[in-house]
A and B are shown apart, each in its own frame.
Chain A
C-alpha cells in the first residue's frame, strides 16, 4: 500500500471485503437460481416438463363407466350422479388400465362423506350438509345411505 493511502488503508481493506461479499452474493445467486428460471414467467421453465413427465393417476369418469355399468345404473337419477367416481374412490388410473393387476379397495364410508358434507359456513347454504355430532348416531354413513344413491326414500 503506498504511503499516500496509509490512513485509508483499513477502509480499502473493508471495501475489498465488501466487494468480495457482493461477488459471493452474486455467485451464490447465480448457482441457486436455476438456469431456465424466468423462461416463460416467474418460475422455472423446466417445471413444465417435469410435470408433464409425471404419470397420470386419474383415469376419468368415462373410463370407469365403460366397465362398471352396474354402478352407472345405480347412480342414475340420484344427486351423486354428477360426482366423479374418483372423487370418492381416489386416483385409479392403474386399475382402469389393468383391472386384474390393481384391485382397488373401497372408500371408508365413515370419513369420505364428510369431506364434502361436513357442515361449514363456507359452503353454499343450499348444499346438503350435516353435523356428525347430531346426525347419523355415530354410525358409518353407508349404514343408512347408499353411496351411489344417497337419498333415503
Chain B
C-alpha cells in the first residue's frame, strides 16, 4: 500500500514520526566513551604501576584529550544556534541530568585531564621552552606558567600530585561516562533506555572502546613514525581489552536475558524491532562482528601461541571490529530508542542525511577531527622520551 507517510508502520504519536536525536547524538556517547576509556586505561597503568604498558600511558592521555576537545561539538551542532549553544558550558544547573553537562565536562577537562598531562610533561615542557625558538617556543613558555623549576624535588612533588589526580580522575572518568549512560537510563518513558544497567553498560563499553582506540592509535603512530612497537605492551593492552570486553559482554547479556525473561509489556515491540529494523546494527554489527568475533580472536591469542605478525594482525582486526561494534551499540541505543512508538503499536524509520547540519558528512568530519588534534598534540608533546632531535630531554 502506498501511504502518504513513507517509512512509518502502524500507529505512532505525531511527535514520534521524525527522530529528534540524529547520528550526532550517536557520536556523542561514542566519543565521550573513547575519552573515558582511554583515560581509565592510562590511570590503571599509573595506579597499579604496570610497567609493560608504559609506552601507551602518555599516548592514552593525549588520545583522551584529543577526543574530549571534540566531544561537545556534536552536541553543539545538534543544538544549532551557535550564538547560544555555548551556554551549555556556562549555565549548567542541577535540576536536570542533561543540564549538568557543563559541570561534568569542565571538571573533567580542566581539573583532571589537563592537570594530569601538564604535571606529567612538565619537565619536557620546561626543557623545550628553553631550547625551542620562535612561536613554538612561546607556546612552551606559556605552558611552563613562568616556572622553570625542574629540580628532582619538584618533579617528585609533581609525581605525587599527579598520582593523586589520577586517583581522583578514575571516579571522574566513571562519572563522565556513567553520566552519559544515566541520561538514557533515567528516561522513564522509554523502555529501551530505562534501566539502571545503562550507566554501567555504557561505562564498560567505554573502557572497551577506549582501550581498543589506544591500541590502534599506538600501532598506527608507531607505523607512521617507523618506530618498533613494543610487543609486550601490545600483548598486555590486548589482554586488558579482552578482560574489559568479557565484563562488558557479560553485562550486556545480563541486560538482554533479563529483558527476555521478564518480557514486560514493551517486549514484543522491542523484540520485533531487533529482528527487523535493528537486525543489521544490533545482531550482526554489535553482537556478532563487534563483540563475539573480537572476543574470540583475542581469546585465541591467549590460548595458542602465535607469531608476532599474526598477533599484530589480530589486534588490528579485533580493535577495528571493537570500535565498529561499540559505535553500533551507541547507534542501537540512541536510534533504536526512537524507532518504536511509545504506544508499542508502530515504528518509524531513521533516514540519515548527508551534507546537512546533522548529516553523515559532519559526523565523519567530527570523527576525523580528534585524529588531527592528536597529531598536533603528539608533535607538541611527544609521548615517547627518545624522540629524535630532542636529545636534551633524555
Contact = CB atoms under 8 A, between A and B. Distances in A.
Contact of A18 (B10, B12, B110, B158): B110
A7 interface: yes
B157 interface: yes
Interface residues of B, number: 34
A13 B147 contact: yes
A121 B91 contact: no
B98 to A, nearest CB: 13
Interface string A7-43: 1111101100110010001001100110000000010
A122 B111 contact: no
Interface in A93-148: 118-122, 131-134
A80 B386 CA distance: 82
A18 B110 CA distance: 8
A6 interface: yes
A31 to B, nearest CB: 9
Contacts of B2: 131, 133-134
B118 A14 contact: yes
Contacts of B137: none
Nearest to A8: B157
Given A7-B157, A25-B90, A133-B2, A121 B145 contact: no
A21 B114 CA distance: 13
Nearest to A120: B5
A118 B149 contact: no
B95 A42 contact: yes
Contact of B346 (A6, A21, A121): A121
B394 interface: no
B225 interface: no
Nearest to A132: B4
A20 to B, nearest CB: 11
Given A119-B3, A121-B10, A121-B11, A10 B122 contact: yes
Contacts of A6: 149, 151, 154
B1 to A, nearest CB: 9
B4 A118 contact: yes
A76 B346 CA distance: 38
A121 B5 contact: yes
A121 B17 CA distance: 10
B154 A131 contact: no
Interface string B3-24: 1110010111110110000000
B387 interface: no
B380 to A, nearest CB: 18
Interface in B319-353: 346
Nearest to A118: B4
B161 interface: yes
A18 B118 CA distance: 13
Given A6-B149, A13-B147, A131-B2, A122 B13 contact: yes
B110 A11 contact: no
Given A10-B154, A18-B111, A122 B146 contact: no
Interface string B149-170: 1010110011001000000000
Given A42-B95, A131-B3, A121 B157 contact: no
B106 interface: yes
B128 to A, nearest CB: 15
Contact of A8 (B111, B144, B154): B154
5 contacts: A10-B147, A17-B145, A18-B111, A29-B90, A131-B2
Interface of B: 2-5, 8, 10-14, 16-17, 87, 90-91, 95, 106, 110-111, 115, 118, 122, 144-147, 149, 151, 153-154, 157-158, 161, 346
The 4 A-B pairs at the shortest CB distance, nearest first, are namely: A10-B147, A7-B154, A13-B145, A119-B4
Given A10-B154, A122-B16, 10 more contacts: A6-B154, A7-B157, A11-B161, A13-B146, A18-B110, A18-B115, A25-B106, A32-B87, A32-B90, A119-B5
